[in-house]
Structure 1
Amino acid sequence: MTRARSNLIDPGTTPYYHCMARCVRRAYLCGYDAFSGKDYEHRRQWVVDRLRELVTIFSIEVCAYAVMSNHYHVVLHINSQPARDWDLDDILNRWTQLFTGPLLVQRYLAGQTLSSSELSRVKEFAEEYRQRLQDISWFMRCLNEHLAREANKEDGCRGRFWEGRFKSQALLDEAALLTCMAYVDLNPIRAKMAKTPEHSEHTSIKERIDQTRNTATKKQPCLLKPFRSQGQNPDTALPYFMTDYLQLVDWSGRAVREDKRGFIPSDTPPILERLMIDPDEWLKTMRWNQRFYRAAGRLKAMKAYAQQTGQLWIQGMGSSGRIYT
């Protein structure tokens, strides 16, 4: 049953969400379309560039992404603290990078003198924009509308480009976040578009690997929310070390290959042990969308989420109880 977006995305429940958008009918977001003979490979960079732009405007961070042929995945984190600290000019300057804004806002930014009532209305606009700039629905709208306009312009057509509104899943705890990020980063390998993570073009894991290989900087990518590292504030970083995550993704990628399906190496990554994740169930959960729908997490968290959204049961509870022991 369709549910209101406000019931599905609640920062009070979790700040982490997995979002996915798919093109309508036979439309191609990226890649080579054998049916029409057209190559849309260059559009992959459109997605990455737009994400890079939006994270500098919104109070939302990207944890993982993968750009596929007719859809893309992105794991987002709502970081509300910066938005709370923005002053009036910060908010209006950010918002007007995306939208023109009302005439009163334009006059204020142009330095014109406003009456007290006009200034009060500008402040009301700013508070509304403050909320929107930490709203995943607005983030995805600014991403998808931009991509649709660019694609329709290039194709010389009008009409819908996406099959519908983006799909979202609440990631209720660290275990769900880890599982989903690995699933997203492994998408090109599962689709046989790449053999290894370091060759998976237009994915977050390749961007992280490329950046750390850069001997000049050795810094984590500015587009992506950083992993915990020495000197990194744990409150502003992903709750894992990057070396552990890379080992985990590489191990998972090897294990789900056709010639090695179900094989569990003896050197199971330490992060699985720390999070008490069952390795056999982890492999099955690499078929992520077949197991979880609206939300993912440990069974206790999913039961609480179901109760909060007025449901007795949500898809994935059985899987959750098996994988997250």
Structure 2
Amino acid sequence: MPKARKSQISLLDTPYYHCVSRCVRRAFLCGEENGRSFEHRRQWVEDRIHVLSEVFAIDVCAYAVMSNHTHLVLHIAKEKADALSTEEVIRRWHRLYKGTLLSQHFISPDLRKDLHETQIKTMELTAEVWRKRLFDISWFMRALNEYIARAANKEDDCTGHFWEGRFKSKALLDESALAACMAYVDLNPVRAKMAKTPETSDHTSIKYRINAAKVGKTPKRLMPFVGSPRQKMSHGLPFTLPDYLQLVDITSRYIHPNKRGKVEHSLPCILERLNIEHEQWLILTTQFEVCFKLAAVKVIHLKQYAHNQHQQRVQGRQNAMRLLG
């Protein structure tokens, strides 16, 4: 029986998670099928991801919108949610949901003065519930998937499930797993022959980052890079943007079947810092979902994660030892 989603999220171990949602019966989310194009739905998904990144206290590290599934690498920023005022929590929640009549009165300066003390206390308690949801991955994915499902069903003039029962999530327990998973997500369209290069892969975080970099900007709706992996992971992605772009580009040259060129020079310095061999890296960035089930990390940390999750045995030990050392 699948584990409850809340039991798979452990901020004690990591704030980083890889989430995948697939359409029911592998139906088409986007792309073309039976002469009908659903390509415009990709923009729906990407726009919604950007909106949610501004509402939730959850950072988006990477994403890719595919024909029948979506990939997201998310970072839970609990400290950001804790720092929000009660009013800000309510305003953020109202960007997605109507809230209640009481919450509407609470954030209105003219109407709030007429509220009783018990009503204010009730609203403050409700806001604390909403605050917890703002750094809850399940609520993030719910706000994404329900919105897209309703829009798609309306367009198709039908009802029923659009997505599979639950999204899948994997914990990314160190910077090696994080880098591998981000590259895996960003290169999905390249592996699927939907794009020739990472920078031309539409509706992906890698293209979004590259377009922003071309004009000297940092994308507002993605988690920024902070540099050395020796820094605490909670403050930002532990790589530099140039290193990551070079890493993705070189990896794409090896995995793309239609590419004639082959990179002969040494691997990017980021791989040396993470101490991952060339062959191991290629396996990770082309078979990441297959290699890891619940968590991805070096085996020494995987044991601690299993202990914290009260697992009777360490799942994924062999792949962790083989691929991450």
Q: Displacement, 1:49?
A: 0.5
Give unpaired runs (5+ residues) of structure 2.
none
Name structure 1 gaps, 5 residues minimum.
none
Residues 301, 259 of structure 1: alpha-carbon distance in 2 compared, 3 angstrom cutoff? same
Distance verdict in 2 for CA 1:259–1:119, change over 3 Å: closer
Q: After superposition, where does 1:1-325 map in structure 2 within 5 Å?
A: 1-33=1-33, 36-110=34-108, 111-112=111-112, 113-214=114-215, 218-228=216-226, 236-258=235-257, 265-285=264-284, 286-325=286-325
Amino acid at match of 2:301: A
1:301 is paired with a residue of what secondary structure? helix
Is the CA contact (8 Å cut-off) linking 1:13 and 1:172 kept in structure 2? yes
Give the partner amino acid of 1:301: H
- Calculate the TM-score normalised by the size of structure 1: 0.93
SS at match of 2:24: coil
**Residues 16 and 171 of structure 1 are in contact (CA less than 8 Å); yes or no, is this contact kept in structure 2?**
yes
CA contact (8 A) 1:59 1:133 kept: yes
Could you say what secondary structure the match of 1:86 adopts? Answer: coil
SS in 1 for 2:99: coil
In structure 2, distance between residues paired with 1:287 and 1:204: 19
Q: Alignment length, in residue pairs?
A: 317
Distance 1:139 1:204 in 2: 17
The answer on whether the counterparts of 1:14 and 1:170 sit within 8 Å (CA) in structure 2 is yes
**Secondary structure in 2 matching 1:320:** helix
CA contact (8 A) 1:294 1:314 kept: no
Which stretch shifts more, 190-199 or 95-104?
A: 95-104
Inter-CA distance 260–324: structure 2 relative to 1 (3 Å threshold): farther
Q: How much identity, in percent, do the aligned residues show?
A: 50
- CA distance in 2 between counterparts of 1:314 and 1:150 reads 41
Q: How far apart are residue 119 of structure 1 and its match? A: 0.9
Separation in 2, partners of 1:192, 1:164: 28
3-state SS of 1:62 partner: strand
User: Which amino acid in structure 1 is aligned with residue 78 of structure 2?
Assistant: S
Structure 1 position 228, deviation (Å): 2.0
- Looking at structure 2, the residues matched to 157 and 314 of structure 1 have their Cα atoms a distance apart, in angstroms, of 44
1:212 CA drift (Å): 1.0
Conserved? CA contact 2:28–2:68, under 8 Å: yes
Report Cα offsets for 1:92-146 as digits up to 9, x if no partner. Answer: 1111111122332122233241111111111000111111101111011000000
Q: Give the secondary structure class of the aligned counterpart of 1:313.
A: coil
The CA distance in 2 between the partners of 1:8 and 1:77, in whole Å, is 14
Q: Which amino acid aligns with 1:80?
A: K
- Evaluate the alpha carbon distance shift between residue 297 and residue 38 of structure 1 in structure 2; reply closer, same or farther with a 3 A threshold: same
TM-score by length of 2: 0.93
Offset from partner CA, 1:228-260 (integer Å, 9 cap, x none): 269xx9763211001111111111111123378
1-structure distance, mates of 2:263, 2:316: 23
Q: Which sits farther off after the overlay, 87-96 or 105-114?
A: 105-114
The letter for the 1-side match of 2:224 is P
Compute the displacement of 1:222 (Å): 1.0
1:264 Cα shift?
Answer: 7.5
* Equivalent-residue separation in structure 1 for 2:240 and 2:55 (angstroms): 27
8 Å contact 2:16–2:173 — kept in the other structure? yes
Alpha-carbon distance change, 26 to 321 in structure 1, aligned in 2, over 3 angstroms? closer
CA distance in 2 between counterparts of 1:227 and 1:26 reads 34
Aligned equivalents of 1:202, 1:101: Cα separation in 2: 31
2:174·2:297 contact (CA, 8 Å) conserved in 1?
A: yes
SS at the partner of 2:73? Answer: strand
Is the CA contact 2:227–2:237 (under 8 Å) kept in the aligned structure 1? no
Question: Is the 1:197–1:205 Cα contact (8 Å) retained in structure 2?
Answer: yes
